[in-house]
């Protein structure tokens, strides 16, 4: 018989507050067209993107995260001292160690929380949310900050016609805490490593180091058509599995918040899932671009701030990207 006492966690977990930060510089398509042979019409028709935000030198991964975290804490009505965990999902923090989560925890005044980074690309927010839910229910934390943050402008090849217009910068954060009833559903997540070459960094950091100053800085590249087909057909199946796991149907949904990768992907998923007209669909990609791990919390924050979604709404969230990895769940909005 085990001598270990059971953890005294909460019966359930919920998202208590959300916050976002978008860099002050707004970059229209015209700026992108200075380095690629394309047109504003082509960019809009292929991606739906009109503008994106690019960070300044001062708007670091940590700085943007601190701003988003502060807003999420205020929205949740708790202080930084109450935070027991900080989970940061990012692929654009360039220090291998220490984790940027530790720096963020210190800067917000969180004391001595568990703090770590995860690398799960555009599904990173869903991965972090699932980990935070587990920490709260298991009893190792009362309140956990989950942050998705990217400075993808640092990893964008402005001469790559296929990707130069896609990426933006920003940070989104949520506070996960205890709940008396289910408010974060079961997560449907996974990976398809055989497709890892479809979205990747052009060269590993070691190649850049060994090549010296003549090497082109690493960037993110992707096989656009392959990614589009996978996202539209396979991720709609994952989204349906998340609905099934939560025990609801599309008719029970109020909001759909997919990863903001591409407007065509979003619209195709809406059609495949046969979402009713009453369901509000996040289309933040138009003015924010693809911000990878930050895209879902940023879109969530904007929907709530503009009144397109409201507290208590039932939302389906799904992230998918490099790996290829994915994560989908149903949540109650804070």
Q: Which of 29, 93, 259, 262 is catalytic?
A: 259
Closest CA to 36 of 136, 160, 127: 160
The secondary structure of the chain in percent helix, strand, coil, rounded to multiples of 5, reads 40, 25, 35
First to last CA, the chain: 41
Q: Which of 122, 142, 262, 278 is catalytic?
A: 122
CA separation for the pair 110, 168 (Å, rounded): 28
Q: DSSP 3-state assignment of 40?
A: helix
259 catalytically annotated: yes
262 catalytically annotated: no
CA separation for the pair 331, 226 (Å, rounded): 29
Closest CA to 47 of 170, 167, 153, 156: 167
210 catalytically annotated: no
CA separation for the pair 190, 218 (Å, rounded): 26
- Residue environment code for 51-79, b if the CB has 16+ CB neighbours within 10 A, otherwise e: ebbbbeeebbbbbbbbbbbbbbbebbebe
Q: How many Cα atoms occupy the beta-carbon half-sphere of 76 within 13 Å?
A: 29
Q: DSSP 3-state assignment of 102?
A: helix
Report the relative pairing of strands 85-89 and 114-118 from DSSP bridges.
Answer: parallel
Q: Supply the residues annotated as catalytic.
A: 122, 259, 290
């Amino acid at each position: 018989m085990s001598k270990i006492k059971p953890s005294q966690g909460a019966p359930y977990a919920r998202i208590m507050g959300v916050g976002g930060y978008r860099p002050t510089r707004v970059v229209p398509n015209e700026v992108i067209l200075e380095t690629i042979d394309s047109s504003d019409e082509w960019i809009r028709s292929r991606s739906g993107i009109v503008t994106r935000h690019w960070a300044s030198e001062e708007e670091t991964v940590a700085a943007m995260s601190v701003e988003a975290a502060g807003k999420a804490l205020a929205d949740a009505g708790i202080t930084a001292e109450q935070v027991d965990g900080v989970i940061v999902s990012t692929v654009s923090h360039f220090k291998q160690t220490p984790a940027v989560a530790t720096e963020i925890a210190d800067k917000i005044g969180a004391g001595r929380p568990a703090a770590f980074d995860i690398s799960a690309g555009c599904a990173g927010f869903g991965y972090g949310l699932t980990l935070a839910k587990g920490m709260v229910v298991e009893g190792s934390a009362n309140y956990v900050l989950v942050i998705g943050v990217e400075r993808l402008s640092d990893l964008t090849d402005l001469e790559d016609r296929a990707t130069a217009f896609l990426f933006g910068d920003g940070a989104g954060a949520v506070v996960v805490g205890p709940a008396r009833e289910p408010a974060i559903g079961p997560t449907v997540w996974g990976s398809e490593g055989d497709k890892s070459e479809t979205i990747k960094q052009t060269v590993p950091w070691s190649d850049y180091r060994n090549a010296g100053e003549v090497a082109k800085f690493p960037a993110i590249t992707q096989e656009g058509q392959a990614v589009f087909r996978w996202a539209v057909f396979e991720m709609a199946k994952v989204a349906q599995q998340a609905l099934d796991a939560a025990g609801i149907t599309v008719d029970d949904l109020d909001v759909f918040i997919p990863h903001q990768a591409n407007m065509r992907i979003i619209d195709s998923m809406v059609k495949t899932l046969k979402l009713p007209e009453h369901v509000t669909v996040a289309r933040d990609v138009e003015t924010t671009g693809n911000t990878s791990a930050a895209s879902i919390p940023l879109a969530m924050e904007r929907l709530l701030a503009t009144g397109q979604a409201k507290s208590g709404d039932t939302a389906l969230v799904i992230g998918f990207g490099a790996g290829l990895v994915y994560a989908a769940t149903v949540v109650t909005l804070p």
